[in-house]
Structure 1
Amino acid sequence: MLKKIPAFTVNLSFNLEPVYAIILAFLFFEEGEEVNTSFYVGLFFVMASVILQTLISVRRSKYSY
């Protein structure tokens, strides 16, 4: 897997583990009292950075021979 995706991208996606935990707690345990707009804005930025980093690294590996 690391042959196609750089270690930075893999590390970035593993660092999303707290976000996954918050979302699962929100869905399964109804722990959403403290989730507000700033959480969603932060989540958007984190997810956008992961997606953009993945797209950039795939494009670079696609065009480098």
Structure 2
Amino acid sequence: MEGNVVQLQELYHFVRRDVNAEGQIVGEFRATGIRPRFAQEAATLGHHFAKDAFNPQVPL
């Protein structure tokens, strides 16, 4: 948040790999590498994210 403006950023995006024989899209979600500011506060409150939850090199 900057001043009174809430800033939104993409934390994950879908990487499309292919379309299979049935016409279904094949792909995976990947982290963008942005760790949200609330992650530390959430941990303090007992809500923990997986170690690699925001690592773009690790598929979800």
Q: Same fold (TM over 0.5)?
A: no
Measured against the shorter chain, the TM-score band is: under 0.3
Higher RCO, 1 vs 2 (CA within 8 Å, ≥6 residues apart): 1
Which is richer in strand? 2
Which is richer in helix? 1
